[in-house]
Amino acid sequence: MTKTIGLICGSLRKDSYNRIVAQAFTEMDSSLQFRWIEIRELPLFNDDLDTDDGGPEPVRVYRSAIRQVDGVLIVSPEYNSGIPGVLKNALDWASTPPKTAALLRKPVGVVGATPGGKGTAFSQQQIRQTLDAIQAHVLPFQKVLISQVREKIDADRGVLTDEKTRTYLQRYLQHFVHWIDHIPVLD
């Protein structure tokens, strides 16, 4: 059966490099379906809003979008050596209610790009830490840290052009699909 992969971008910026990187995934395997899962409309997490009826409409739409996909790829920048606030907010909304959280046992991959030299290493570490707390199934071992991203894209066309980076991403996607199929079921 065709797998559907959700894409979450940790940047709200219109010309986000991370969004360009995420877009590249959609061109890499025609046997997969890709669906953007947007986080822009989510309110700031507030436990008071997290009501039994599923909470505010944007939260319901977002949680339902995660539930409908076989796995989620997060492509995110790093802000101040950490996870962007908008992404942390989105992950928190996918962490409740604890027993039926949208990201609970969901296969998740983490990738990041930066114009800087460290490839979002700190941000990815924090994203993984949060996903571990939620008990998502994060793809282990494999990492894609994209540094100097401005030199790897055609910003005018919004395309990732660097062949080496495309190969890394393609391999990551293959590992991720394999991960979805082989996650140990422990419950």
The binding site for ligand FNR (CB under 6 A) comprises 11, 13, 16-18, 77-81, 114-116, 118, 120
* Least distance in angstroms from the C-beta of 160 to ligand FNR: 12
Q: Cα–Cα–Cα angle for 11, 40, 32, nearest 5°?
A: 75
Nearer CB in complex with ligand FNR: 147/170: 147
Closest approach, Cβ 83 to ligand FNR, in A, equals: 10
In the complex with ligand FNR, which residue's Cβ is closer, 83 or 103? 83
Residue nearer to ligand FNR on the CB measure, 18 or 23: 18
CA 127 to chain CA mean position, Å = 9
For the bound state, the minimum distance from the C-beta of residue 173 to ligand FNR, rounded and expressed in Å, comes to 19
Smallest gap, in angstroms, from Cβ of residue 166 to ligand FNR?
17
In whole angstroms, the minimum distance from the beta carbon of 76 to ligand FNR comes to 8
Rank residues 55 and 112 by Cβ distance to ligand FNR and give the closer one: 112
For the chain, give the DSSP string: --EEEEEEES---TT-HHHHHHHHHTTS-TTEEEEE---TTPPPP-GGG--TT-SSHHHHHHHHHHHHSSEEEEE---BTTB--HHHHHHHHHTS-SGGG-TTTT-EEEEEEE-SSSSTTHHHHHHHHHHHHHHT-EEPPS--EEE-SGGGGEETTTTEE--HHHHHHHHHHHHHHHHHHHHPPP--
